[in-house]
Amino acid sequence: MTNAPALNSHDDLDDETSPSWLMPATVRGARLIALVSSAVGVVLIVIGAALGKQSPLGVVVGYLPTFALIPLVVLFGRAGDRVRVAAVTLAVIGALTSCTGILTGLPPGAVGIVASGAVAALLLRPSAKAWFVRER
Tens digits of residue pLDDT in 60-90: 888 899 999 999 999 998 888 999 999 999 9
Q: Where would I find the beta strands (DSSP E) of the chain?
A: none
Helices 81-104 and 126-133 cross at an angle (nearest 10°) of 130
Tens digits of residue pLDDT in 17-57: 666 778 999 999 999 999 999 999 899 888 888 887 666 77
The pLDDT assigned to 52 comes to 78
